[in-house]
Amino acid sequence: MNTYKQNTESIISDFSLFEDWMDKYNFIIELGKSLPLIEERLKTDNYLINGCQSQVWLFAEYKEGAVIFTADSDAIITKGIVNILIRALSGLNPSEIIEADMSFVDEIGLREHLSPTRSNGLTAMIKQMKLYALVYKAKYGNPLENMTKETIHAQIIENLRNVYDPEIPVNVYDLGLIYNITVTDDFAVAIQMTLTSPNCPVAETLPINVRDAAASIRGVISVYVDLVFEPEWHQDLMTEAAKLELGLL
């Protein structure tokens, strides 16, 4: 396997062949055509990167001490951008990815010539790749070598018990607003939740609070919150402790 330095020197060398940025854009488009594609079955919300102008799916797997990335996007320029990052980081060990300073991105002028929204997307992609590396470093070595889907699931519930609808003195978990929590093998999290009514005044903020509570857990790579209203929430979904707190028992 090449080192990070070898990978980035190769990328810098390729971009130095072009003086005009229109030619470099065309090169990025060509890179998009050779992107190592994520499997279609993995193109789900669990692997969708938040913060990108276009839809970008990124997946990482751990093979023989190295992190291997695959991806896809619905925009050809974005496919090329993510392929540049994959060329730099894929095949490295988790520590190398975490420690990579990514200064080559500025050296080739990429960030400078992107729109603000695409530049934000670039930052989001880099962050996600480093998060994957953090998870694999934790999963296969200290300090989180004993982390499992079950422990992540339990920590999510614990954190959700600190999230409240400001108008109700009961946390969202005991209130029965959390319908399902799924944790994948690589610690991507999907949460299905509801509200006490579709017209709830915190309909916009409460799902964000739920997402942030799960995302704050060390090792979680991504969080997707699905807000649903079927089945409809009712008081029987509350825990005994919640009913007691509200004077329903």
Q: Could you give the C-alpha distances from 121 to 37, 54, 115, 191, in angstroms and in order?
A: 18, 8, 10, 24
Q: Could you give the C-alpha distances from 92 to 114, 125, 224, in angstroms and in order?
A: 26, 16, 27
Q: Please tell me the distance from the alpha carbon of residue 118 to that of residue 82, in angstroms, as a whole number.
A: 11
Phi, psi of 218 (to 5 degrees): -60, 125
DSSP state of 233: P
Q: What angle separates helix 4-16 from helix 21-33, to the nearest 10 degrees?
A: 130
Instruction: Determine which one of 52, 129, 156, 183 is catalytic.
Output: 52
One-letter amino acid at 29 equals: I
CB 84 within 8 A of CB 29: no
CB 172 within 8 A of CB 160: yes
52 noted as active-site residue: yes
Place of tokens 């960030």: 111
Q: What angle separates helix 149-160 from helix 205-215, to the nearest 10 degrees?
A: 140
CB 173 within 8 A of CB 157: yes
- List the catalytic residues: 52
